[in-house]
Amino acid sequence: MHTLSRQQLILLVLLTLVWGFNWPIMKFGVTGFPPLTFRTACMWIGLPVLGLFLVWRGVSFRIGRQHWRELAVLTVFNMLFWHTLAILAVQSLSSGRAAILGYTMPVFSAVIGALWFGQRLSPRAGFGVAAAALGVVLLLWHEISTLSGKPLGVAMMLVAAGTWAVGTQLMRRTRIDAPTLAISFWMTLLTTVWMTLMSVLFERDAWVAPNPWQWMAIVYNALGVFAFAQVVWLSMARDLPPIASTLSVMFIPVLGVLSGAWWLSEVLHWQDGAAVALVMLAIATVLWPSPARITRSQPGQGKQFF
């Protein structure tokens, strides 16, 4: 299993907080507002901020022509499906349950890694995947009957999670010899163009000016998600083994459920508490170092995200 550096651990905690709280914020933002347009506005604000960060850090924007096709494939599986389907599904599902369905991704990733990429799971990693899957089932326990009446929203979130899992596996194996920041920028740009076209084609007649609270949700998504969390996630997907990167963020749906209960009055049950324990166990299986690794590790080891 992978041992995180102090910087990686701090970024993981910040990523979890930003993405976890984003689910009820996103649900609030698309209530009474066109969802594709909401996502498009977020991306057009976040994209230049991300670009300025690259300039400030002196990171080259260049992606070799020979890698353009691979960049397009990474964009489709890591962003296009996810951002399109997830924002549409959030309108019909509760924010917490949408987060849970989205974070079935680690389970999909483990299955896809074993069947498609020949990835062998250690008993410890397999136990972590099983704990995460059981945690997801418990979190959905009281929602099965409700979700059965919203099959399209459920299907969209599961397809989004499955394609994201493929994208995570591909990101780990990418041959693009460019910084993750540059890859993130071009993937975000391509997705922004796509979301803009979708918004114009399907929501133009529904365009309205955002109210102040919707603007707050848009700015939070633009800066927190697209200029920060997305870059950190892609760095984790590229630098860490797929199982470690996917299970390490499993507390995000738990935070989504808890923040949704606090802000949007979504009801909690005892199964949610049990799921929290299982998710924490799943995270520990991939991030808690073994005794042998502790002995070999030296202070300051670990890749840098930025």
Question: Does residue 93 sit in helix, strand or coil?
Answer: coil
For 44-102, how does the pLDDT look when each residue is reduced to its tens digit (9 = 90+)? Answer: 999 999 999 999 999 999 999 999 999 999 999 999 999 999 999 898 877 877 887 88
How far apart are alpha carbons 67 and 144 in whole angstroms? 43
| Chain centroid, CA 101 distance in Å | 12
Query: In 3D, which of 254, 244, 259, 243 has the Cα closest to residue 279?
Result: 254
Q: pTM of the predicted model, to two decimals?
A: 0.83
> How wide is the angle at C-alpha 81 spanned by C-alphas 75 and 85, nearest 5°?
150
User: In angstroms, rounded to a whole number, what is the distance separating the alpha carbons of residues 198 and 28?
Assistant: 21
Q: Are 165 and 102 in contact (CB under 8 A)?
A: no
Domain ranges for the chain, please list them: 6-296
Whole-number pLDDT of residue 87: 94
pLDDT by residue for the chain (306 residues), tens only, comes to 456 678 888 888 899 899 989 998 999 899 889 999 999 999 999 999 999 999 999 999 999 999 999 999 999 999 999 999 999 989 887 787 788 788 778 778 877 887 787 777 778 777 777 887 787 777 677 666 666 667 788 888 889 989 998 998 899 889 999 999 999 999 999 999 999 999 999 999 999 999 999 999 999 999 999 999 999 999 888 887 766 777 777 788 778 878 877 776 766 777 777 777 777 777 777 666 555 544 444 444 444 444
Cβ 3 vs Cβ 293: under 8 Å: yes
